[in-house]
Amino acid sequence: MKDLSNKKILFIICGGISAYKSLETIRLFRKNNAEIKTIVTQNAKKFITPLTVASLSQGKVYEDLFNIENESEMDHIALSRWADVIVVAPITANTITKLSHGSSEDLASTVILASNKQIFLVPAMNVRMWEHQSTKINLKTLKKYGYKFIGPVIGDMACGEYGEGKMSEPLDIYNEIFNFLSNQFKNEKIKALVTAGPTNEYIDPVRFITNKSSGKQGYEIAKSLSKRGFDTTLISGPTSLNVDKNIKLIEVETAEEMFNATQKNLPVDIAIFSAAVADFKVNKKNDNKIKKQENLTISLEKNIDILSYVSNHNSMRPKLVIGFAAETNNLDFNAISKLNDKNCDWIIANDVSKKDRGFNSDFNEVTIYYKNSQDKKEKLFLKRKSEISEEIVDRIVSKTN
């Protein structure tokens, strides 16, 4: 059996007859040296007892949100940070509905909502409930939020019916979580650098040249990398976005500052340049504010090309260099030209002329162009930037592991 020493797993057990399977699942994880803490919901206690769970897990069992003993020992935020991964098994149709609406009415849902870790949901319910349109809509929403599902499977149910909705077997759950944590352990040794946001190129102390980049896609990519265990550094131009504490954030303003920060943080294994770096800067910045005048001429010069510099760096070139191309026309031609000209491994291109995606939007649609690949390009259709980032990182993981 595969060992999970030093791995911390938070189990959340919801109500339902399948709760008994969680006991065997917990026993399996403890047998293989994982450290376990458990939250048992009020409905789950109708099927299993906290004493039984504590005996099998050999760890703390939490029950109520406002329990003074629980909060003094470890509050709900700290509990969500403690775990390497969170497993909700079983999760019922009722809890799926609550999570899809962002509810936080008890300890279980509060911890889930406050978590910055990967959360696996293991559904168990009647086949008709699983196939109901409202359940399908809720599942789609949760997948957009980044939750991952294990099962359900097809089989005989406690209610006497047969079909999809049966909870996955403990060994299948164990193998899925082991594979995730195993990859996470490998990724901890891999350094990733992400650039995001615009740059500001100053004309005088109060005026500058910039662009409409919000930085959202780059921040989401950094978040997805960090969640998978990568040692992640994010170099960001001016944005209003927040970043998880386990991501090393370096804030810059100009292209020159971004270039210097990139140099200082090399070498890395993976470099993803999603920042919309200004191509030009003012030849000579005015020390004082320029007063209104009838005619004003501004002389520009090219900024350093950070992507090209890193991608062509002989001694410190990352194993995987990914550039972004924000285009308004001739997407294929411009992306392929950039892929070849910059000597990068992938170019991720998007059409920023469309208002429902790209700059300042929470949505994106991108095409990945691969160098030296039989499948030259791959389209990721319109979806939230958080989903796009997960799909990009899926492909990075496949490339690096």
Q: Which two tokens stand for residue 141?
A: 């929403």
Alpha-carbon 271 to chain mean position: 16
Kind of pairing, strands 280-282 and 300-302? antiparallel
Task: Report which of 33, 32, 21, 132 is spatially closest to residue 87, judged by C-alpha positions.
Answer: 21
Catalytic residue among 1, 78, 158, 159: 159
Instruction: Examine the residue annotation and report whether 159 is marked as an active-site residue of this protein.
Output: yes
- In sequence order, the 6+-apart residues with CB closer than 8 A to the CB of 201 are 208, 209, 210, 254, 255, 278, 280, 281, 282, 303
Task: Report which of 153, 108, 158 is spatially closest to residue 130, judged by C-alpha positions.
Answer: 153
- In sequence order, the 6+-apart residues with CB closer than 8 A to the CB of 85 are 7, 9, 10, 117, 118, 119, 120, 177, 180, 181, 184
Q: Which residue has the tokens 């971004």?
A: 258
- Give SS3 for 214: coil
Rounded to whole angstroms, how far apart are CA atoms 75 and 92? Answer: 25
Q: Order the strands of the 248-251 sheet from edge to edge.
A: 248-251, 231-236, 191-196, 270-273, 320-327, 346-351, 363-370, 377-384
Q: Which helix (H) or strand (E) holds 69?
A: helix 68-73
- Enzyme catalytic residues: 159
